Amino acid sequence: MLQVARLAPKVLGADGAGLVEAMVRSRQNADGGFQDRGGRSDVYYTVFALDALAALQVPLPLEPVREFLQTFGDGAGLDFVHLCCLARLWGYFPEGERPGGLLAQVEQWRTPDGGYHQRPGAPQTSAYGVMLAGAAYLDWKRRPPRSWKLAWSLRALRTADGAWANEPGLAEGSTTATAAAVTFYRHAHLTPPAELGRWILAQAHPEGGFKAFPRAPIPDLLSTAVALHALDGLQADFRHLQEPLLDFVDSLWSAEGGFHGHWADDELDVEYTYYGLLALGHLAL
């Protein structure tokens, strides 16, 4: 994703890229963490801040971030989402500096079917859980233990419409879960079902962008960015959508140097700004 997001300045231009850098840096608190939407330091948002700055290929504020991360120790007591984000952030630092036992904490969230879930005690995996844990291991240049079980666990999340849902038993898929499954297949060197490209393309909104699920009323930037990433991985042609997609991303741009999440979103944050860079990177190709 970072390799593609690095192409975003081709679309933004030097001035736009500078505005993004300034906005992201403005969200760093004195303790070294980056702000959530309430202004509090949060490891989840800090991941997106560092990834956005890395995509812009500018110096990273790693020293204050290290001090922030050290306050969490090995992550004991964190929920699954923040635990995986903590692991991902330590991936920016040399292995000798990373807390021992951090990935062992991630393994505590393994489900009986061999996957991961963000809810304690869940009986089956979620696509989101597999994506988060997989990203944590990848950022440490490792594979999850018994990684073959992840592909097996994801089978229960296939939906009747041929996509993936985040939870088992749902009738229709979601763009984010389907994109996560495609990305997992690629990293596991497995061939994703060819029909997934058609399903994702069908989620394109007439005015640009991709919807989160078939009945969603409007598109959003997260779904758009991950849909483009999945389509690229599937080698599915989306060139006929390029102009409305560029218009959609542009409609979410703010002169403050960030992106809104969707048309009804009035706030800026580093998460959606990163997804804006990812979307523009794919459109720059």
Give the pLDDT of residue 159: 95
pLDDT, position 89: 98
Average pLDDT over residues 256-269: 97
For the chain, the average pLDDT equals 96
**Start-end of H helices in 42-174:** 43-56, 62-70, 80-90, 102-107, 127-139, 148-154
Give the pLDDT of residue 195.
87
| 268 confidence band (pLDDT: 50, 70, 90) | very high
Among 168, 172, 158, 177, which residue's Cα sits nearest to residue 223? 177
One-letter amino acid of 216: A
C-alpha torsion sign, points 187, 193, 195, 200? negative
pLDDT of residue 191: 87
- The position carrying tokens 């909104």 is 205
Ramachandran sector of residue 116 (left: φ over 0; alpha: ψ -120 to 50; beta: rest): beta
* Contact between residue 182 and residue 172 where contact means Cβ atoms under 8 Å apart: no
pLDDT at 24: 98
Write down the pLDDT at residue 192.
86
- Interval 137-149: pLDDT, tens: 999 999 999 988 9
The average pLDDT across 182-198 equals 88
Asked if 108 contacts 96 with a C-beta cutoff of 8 angstroms, the reply is no
pLDDT > 90? residue 25: yes
Give the percent of the chain with pLDDT over 90: 92
Q: Which one, of 126, 127, 121, lies nearest residue 109 by Cα?
A: 121
Cβ atoms 249, 221 nearer than 8 A: yes
Q: Is the pTM of this model over 0.85?
A: yes
Residue 57 corresponds to which tokens in the numbers above?
């290929």
Between the alpha carbon of residue 142 and those of residues 7, 65, 95, 108, the distances in Å are: 26, 23, 12, 17
Q: Quickly count: other Cβ atoms within 10 Å of residue 67's Cβ.
A: 12
Q: How confident is the model at residue 237 (pLDDT cuts 50, 70, 90)?
A: very high
Q: How many residues does the chain have?
A: 285
**Which of the four pLDDT bands, split at 50, 70 and 90, describes residue 72?**
very high
Question: At residue 130, does pLDDT exceed 90?
Answer: yes
Q: Which pLDDT belongs to residue 187? A: 83
**How many beta carbons lie within 10 A of that of residue 169, not counting itself?**
9
